[in-house]
Structure 1
């Protein structure tokens, strides 16, 4: 059976670098399997 993985993706155009890091940490703390940034 397929495994479901959830992640968080943030846009560099919407958030400052420090905010991107903080959002990644929050995603990890809330059990997300991955966090990524696109530019």
Structure 2
């Protein structure tokens, strides 16, 4: 039971890590830190 829960938790973590919205938010923050050159 505990092992299955661990696998589910790992799968959810992987989904969140691969979430396009997370990468989009990270990219936007990166762009906002850059000085505006255009």
Q: Normalising by the residue count of structure 2, what TM-score does the alignment of the two structures yield?
A: 0.42
Q: Which has the higher contact order (CA 8 A, sep 6+)?
A: 1
Which has the larger Rg? 2
